Amino acid sequence: MASLPHSRYLDCCATTPLAPEVAAAMAAAQIEAWANPSSLHGFGLAAAEQLERSRQGIASLLGIEGGQLVFTSGGSESIHLALLGAAAPLEQAPGGEAPRLLISAVEHSATRAAAKALQRRGWQVQELPVDRVGAVDLQALERWLAPPTRLVSLVWGQSEVGTIQPLEAIGKLCRQAGVLLHVDAVQVIGHQPVALAQLPVDLLSVAAHKIQGPRGVGALVIREGVELQPCIGGGGQEGGLRSGTEPVALVAGFEAALRLCQRRLETTGGLDPVAPLRDALLQRVLALPGVELSGPDPNDPSDPERLPHHLSVVVQDRNGAWVQGRRLVQALWREGFACSSGSACSSGQGGASPVLTAMGYTNGPAGAGLRISLGPWHSSELLEQLPPALERARAAL
């Protein structure tokens, strides 16, 4: 199975294969800009110049200024820098009451870990409920934005069920309440046009490896005027907010990956070109007996938007019993397809999915989730190949 073609890799919300153009950009940077960009000799200056060119390129693609970007090792570190870095200046809440952080019930494990770290520092953490398709309850958000709430962190595109939260409405409520908003945009960037400077967001986390960029690099976007404290000390790189020698080649790969995404979006009027394939595949998968949609229905205008490369279902066997998602993923792998039963960062935990449980699913279906996430290289061949493979895998359990 080591030679599995990318056409059968359907776990792009976990990570993606490196695009050839990205590999080429990284190889060039590694040859021409291999030195430490903090060094003052010519080799170091060449590395610093390459780093800043990439920074300005990424910033332009995201619709922000280069000074708003802090490079990190990925989405998890960006989330921690956002929450822990913003916390200290906010810890004196009005009235002396312990400050409060709001998160949703469907957050990534990195956000939950950062929230627990804040709890150990004396913060209150309040989870906001979600509805049956994973959308945050905006009325609950508005209620909980009262003091002592000082910080909100929400996932924009939920990786397990594909729900895109209404960011404009959320940001407007946070601005009205004077509460800082951090957004986990790891699953959204590259799949829709963004002009981050126009969004009502204070902090935003992104990562390269979800869009055919390299693992090991991400960024935190910081609105001008937002005060942060560093989480990693040392040489004072990245404006003093993230010490450590910058990975120049990885940042060059990040820029190349984002540029590929923009070109694809430009050719299709701003719509992710994989969305029509996702819609057709979803229709065929849902036609199978014992398969039900989880998360928003992309054909239902009353539902929230869904990540355009994402579909998720819960599955029963031929006897009507719920199939354990992990076993189904293993059975599909025997059929030659790489899928997921949920977030890759929590897939080793087994049992019912906390995300599906938060959405109101009981233990049976909450443990029977299957996620299929597509990349730009996938073709209509999947329409003929995957549904019968899923039916065979289901029948084998």
In a domain? residue 391: yes
pLDDT classification of 91: cutoffs 50, 70, 90: confident
The alpha carbon dihedral of 390, 394, 395, 396 has a sign of positive
Residue 261 designated active-site: no
Q: What is the pLDDT of residue 93?
A: 58
Q: Is the pLDDT of residue 195 over 80?
A: yes
Q: Is the pLDDT of residue 276 over 60?
A: yes
pLDDT classification of 1: cutoffs 50, 70, 90: very low
State how far the alpha carbon of 295 is from the alpha carbons of 160, 340, 371, in Å: 9, 15, 11
In a domain? residue 69: no
Q: Is the pLDDT of residue 156 over 90?
A: yes
pLDDT (average), residues 248-274: 97
- CATH number of the domain that 324 lies in? 3.90.1150.10
pLDDT in tens, 95-110: 678 999 999 999 999 9
Residue with tokens 């030195």: 35
Q: What is the pLDDT of residue 3?
A: 46
Torsion on CA atoms 60, 64, 67, 72, rounded to nearest 10: -80
How many whole angstroms separate alpha carbon 277 and alpha carbon 75? 27
In a domain? residue 226: no
How many whole angstroms separate alpha carbon 62 and alpha carbon 33? 24
In a domain? residue 317: yes
Q: Within 10 Å of residue 292's Cβ, how many Cβ atoms?
A: 11
Local structure of 206: helix, strand or coil? strand
Q: At how many degrees (to 10) do helices 381-395 and 325-334 cross?
A: 120
How many domains does one find in the chain? 1
Mean pLDDT score across all residues of the chain: 94
In a domain? residue 375: yes
pLDDT in tens, 322-363: 999 999 999 999 999 999 996 444 444 458 999 999 999 999
In a domain? residue 231: no
Domain region containing 298: 6-16+271-395
pLDDT classification of 73: cutoffs 50, 70, 90: very high
pLDDT (average), residues 155-162: 98
Q: What is the pLDDT of residue 2?
A: 44
Q: Is the pLDDT of residue 252 over 70?
A: yes
At 50, list the tokens. Answer: 């390459």
In a domain? residue 138: no
Q: Is 155 exposed, middle or buried (0-12, 13-18, 19+ CB in 10 A)?
A: buried
Q: What is the pLDDT of residue 94?
A: 60
In a domain? residue 291: yes
User: Does the bond joining 94 to the residue before it have cis omega, within 30 degrees of 0?
Assistant: no
How many whole angstroms separate alpha carbon 335 and alpha carbon 146? 52
pLDDT in tens, 33-69: 999 999 999 999 999 999 999 999 999 999 999 999 9
pLDDT classification of 250: cutoffs 50, 70, 90: very high
